[in-house]
């Protein structure tokens, strides 16, 4: 998981995000209207150098952020269509192309390219629908495979877009997975699945439940803590 480096912001800290881009050749910073800071990284980068890079550009960031906030005061947040998408859970980079049309559709192309046709400014709806389908194709089968591997009984799954939950388990042992999990690293996705599978045995967060989680995933405490901050990994347009 890559987090935006901490720096000393004057006043309220802005919303920040980190995006890995298949097209990026070098590390760069962007200030997106009305005042969001994005760190764009190439697939191969030196994580240890990121704090120094951001600190070096602090004065520029503050000046640009101040100007942009003033220019967009009182205006709704601008949505920016991404040039590409990195699905960390699958280690997949998808290059995106857009075109206006009379309907909202998408087509996958060879070499992990995606053509997004959208009505008006509804490109984000098309992308979210495609992400839900991608999760259905990948995360669902992975959940059933993990259930079999760990000896759990799972009676199916559903892919949803919950606003406040990464996943849930019903009393019928059907597990709901949030398609936004695609933006999280594999170890966190696996932990979320283990967590929900343990709910097929204990529908609570009792001592016995956590004991079972620990038996299936010894590093669950660190992973559970990471999940509380995982929302930072989801791009704004996917929220």
Most confident of 7-11, 27-31, 143-147: 143-147
Band the pLDDT of 3: cuts 50, 70, 90.
confident
Residues 124 and 161: beta-carbon distance below 8 Å: no
Q: How far is CA 226 from CA 108, 127, 223, in A?
A: 32, 26, 5
**Region 93-119 average pLDDT:** 94
pLDDT tens by residue, 223-233: 999 988 888 78
Instruction: Say whether pLDDT at 90 is over 70.
Output: yes
Task: List CB contacts of 146: < 8 A, sequence separation 6 or more.
Answer: 190, 193, 194, 197
In whole angstroms, give the CA distance from residue 182 to residue 55.
Answer: 30
Residues 96 and 80: beta-carbon distance below 8 Å: no
**Region 216-221 average pLDDT:** 96
Band the pLDDT of 70: cuts 50, 70, 90.
confident
Give the β-pairing of 15-21 and 167-169.
Answer: unpaired
Return the domain boundaries, the chain. Answer: 15-78, 84-130, 131-233
Band the pLDDT of 145: cuts 50, 70, 90.
very high
Please give the pLDDT value at position 185: 94
Residues 19 and 86: beta-carbon distance below 8 Å: yes
- The architecture that CATH gives domain 131-233 is 2-Layer Sandwich (3.30)
Instruction: Say whether pLDDT at 239 is over 70.
Output: yes
Band the pLDDT of 11: cuts 50, 70, 90.
confident
Please give the pLDDT value at position 235: 85
Provide the b/e sequence for 62-97 (b: ≥16 CB within 10 Å). bebbeebbeeeeeeeeeeeebebbbbbbbeebbbbe
pTM: 0.70
In whole angstroms, give the CA distance from residue 140 to residue 134.
Answer: 10
Band the pLDDT of 220: cuts 50, 70, 90.
very high
Please give the pLDDT value at position 74: 55
């Amino acid at each position: 998981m890559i987090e935006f480096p901490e720096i000393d912001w004057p006043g309220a800290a802005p919303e920040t995000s980190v995006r890995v881009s298949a097209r990026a050749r070098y590390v760069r910073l962007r200030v997106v209207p009305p005042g969001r800071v994005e760190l764009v990284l190439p697939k191969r980068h030196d994580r240890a150098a990121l704090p120094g890079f951001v600190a070096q550009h602090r004065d520029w960031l503050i000046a640009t952020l101040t100007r942009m906030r003033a220019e967009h005061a009182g205006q709704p947040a601008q949505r920016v269509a991404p040039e590409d998408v990195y699905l960390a859970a699958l280690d997949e980079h998808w290059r995106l192309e857009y075109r206006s049309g009379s309907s909202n559709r998408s087509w996958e192309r060879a070499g992990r390219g995606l053509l997004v046709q959208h009505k008006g400014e509804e490109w984000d709806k098309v992308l979210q629908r495609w992400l839900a389908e991608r999760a259905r194709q990948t995360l669902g089968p992975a959940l059933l495979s993990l259930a079999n591997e760990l000896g759990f009984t799972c009676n199916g799954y559903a892919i949803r877009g919950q606003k406040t939950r990464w996943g849930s388990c019903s009393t019928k042992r059907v597990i709901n997975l949030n398609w936004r999990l695609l933006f999280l690293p594999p170890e966190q996705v696996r932990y979320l699945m283990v967590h929900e599978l343990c709910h097929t045995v204990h529908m609570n967060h009792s001592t016995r439940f956590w004991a079972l989680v620990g038996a299936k995933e010894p590093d669950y405490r660190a992973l559970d803590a990471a999940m509380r901050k995982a929302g930072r990994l989801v791009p704004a347009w996917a929220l």
